[in-house]
Amino acid sequence: MNVSTQGELIIAKFIDTLTIREDLKPKTLKEYASDLKQFIGWFEAPEHQEEDRQFYF
């Protein structure tokens, strides 16, 4: 799934925050990032856009 640049940045910020604040294994962080990428890709797909939505962090 394609994810917008904004979506990619939000995922990266979230994973960076988890890396700093939580004691998670790299595999867990990678899986979180993958799950978020799939969700954001689904959410951003044209068929799910009833109105213009933006992510705010």
Other beta carbons less than 10 A from residue 41's beta carbon: 14
pLDDT the model gives residue 32: 97
What's the angle, vertex CA 38, arms to CA 37 and CA 41, rounded to 5?
80
Digit-coded pLDDT (tens) for 2-57: 899 999 999 999 999 999 999 999 999 999 999 999 999 998 888 766 665 666 66
So what's the pLDDT on residue 31? 98
Q: Model pTM?
A: 0.76
CA 47/CA 11 separation, integer angstroms: 22
pLDDT of residue 20: 95
Q: Which two tokens stand for residue 33?
A: 């990032």
For 7, 17, 23, 48, the CA distances from 1, given in Å and listed in that order, are 12, 24, 29, 14
Check residue 45 and give its pLDDT. Answer: 87
Q: For residue 27, what are its two tokens?
A: 């595999």
